[in-house]
Amino acid sequence: MKSQTISRKHLSEIYGQVCEAWQKKIAQLIITQHDTNDIVVPEELIKQAYSAANADQKKIIEKYFNISFGRPNTLDKLAITLGISRKDLFLFSEDTEDKHERFLNACNIIPKFAKFYNDGVILNWKDTNQYKYAPYYNFVAGRVAVGSCYFLIFSVGFYFKDNETAQAAYDDFPQIWKDYWGI
């Protein structure tokens, strides 16, 4: 079983931010590991806490735990997760210099990792009240700004369930996004 460690001090910070039911689960961890300063937390419990957390609670969980939960955050990991070779991720050569071919490669790859980053959330395209997010690239005063926000200009498979997930997808695959944007 996979697990992560956290100091008692940091776990107590999380304890103060969660509901009573989760406080009981945290207390149980502390009681069963009373003789150590670092508490081992099963990844499955972290996943459950993260999926039940509100936005503020998610931030504190992200502060102390790696919450990627096996998300493929490199092209090699994406290929392994999909059960294909890295070469098969690309429609054209990975090192092509042609911007159009790089764009088409990105269009093929982005939806493949987007489904993992959305953690099984199926975005409802008929629900205009459900925001969908995508990273964007903006040239501002001679500098480049990268962020993410609510958009309705990309292909359906290019969207993410929240702003943080869209930003993480950019952070993990910046070159793929740059190829998509043509820069």
- Chain segment 121-143, per-residue pLDDT in tens: 888 888 888 888 888 777 666 55
The pLDDT of residue 88 is 95
The pLDDT of residue 90 is 97
- Which regions of the chain are under pLDDT 50? none
Is pTM beyond 0.85? Reply is: no
Show me where the domains of the chain are located.
Answer: 3-64, 75-181
The pLDDT of residue 94 is 96
Burial state string for 130-151 with b = 16 or more CB within 10 A and e = fewer than 16: ebbbbbbbeeeeeeeeeebeee
